[in-house]
Amino acid sequence: MIIADVGDFRTAAQRRLPHFLFEYIDGGSYQQVSLARNVSDLADIALDQRVLRDVSALDPSITLFGQRLALPLLLAPVGLAGLNARRGEVQAARAVKDAGTALILSTVSACSIEEVAAGSGTPPWFQLYMLRDRGFVTAMIERARAAACPVLVFTVDLPAPGARYRDRRSGLSGAPGLAGDLRRLGQALARPGWCWDVGLMGRPLSLGNVAGVLGAATPLGDFLAWLGNNFDPSATWADLEWVRSQWPGPLVVKGILHPDDARAAVAAGADGIVVSNHGGRQLDGALSAVKALPAIVDAVGGSTRILADGGVRSGLDILRYRALGAEAVLAGRAWVWALAAGGQRGVAQLLAMFEAELRAAMALTGTVRFSPEAGRVSASPAEGAGENGGRGRD
- Write the pLDDT tens digit of every residue in 264-304: 999 999 999 999 999 999 999 999 999 999 999 999 999 99
DSSP state of 199: I
How far is it, in rounded angstroms, from Cα 156 to Cα 151? 16
pLDDT band at 386 (very low <50, low <70, confident <90, very high): very low
For residue 186, count other CB atoms closer than 10 A to its CB: 13
CATH of the domain at 239: 3.20.20.70
Q: What is the mean pLDDT of residues 219-246?
A: 83
The tally of domains found in the chain comes to: 1
- Say if 306 falls within a structural domain: no
Residue 376 confidence (pLDDT) above 50:
no
- Say if 292 falls within a structural domain: no
Q: Roughly what angle, to the nearest 10 degrees, separates helices 88-99 and 113-120?
A: 50
Label residue 85 left, alpha or beta by phi (over 0 means left) and psi (-120 to 50 means alpha). beta
- Residue 253 phi/psi, 5-degree rounding, is -100, 125
pLDDT band at 393 (very low <50, low <70, confident <90, very high): very low
**Percent of the chain beyond pLDDT 70?**
90
pLDDT band at 214 (very low <50, low <70, confident <90, very high): low
Active-site residue, from 164, 278, 313, 391 = 278
- Say if 307 falls within a structural domain: no
- Say if 304 falls within a structural domain: no
How far is it, in rounded angstroms, from Cα 217 to Cα 267? 41
| CA–CA–CA angle 142, 248, 252 (5° rounding) | 95
pLDDT band at 374 (very low <50, low <70, confident <90, very high): very low
- Say if 225 falls within a structural domain: yes
278 is catalytic: yes
> Cβ-count burial of 190 within 10 angstroms (0-12 exposed, 13-18 middle, 19+ buried)?
exposed
- Say if 75 falls within a structural domain: yes
Q: Which domain holds residue 183?
A: 6-254+313-372
- Say if 262 falls within a structural domain: no
- Say if 116 falls within a structural domain: yes
For residue 174, count other CB atoms closer than 10 A to its CB: 15
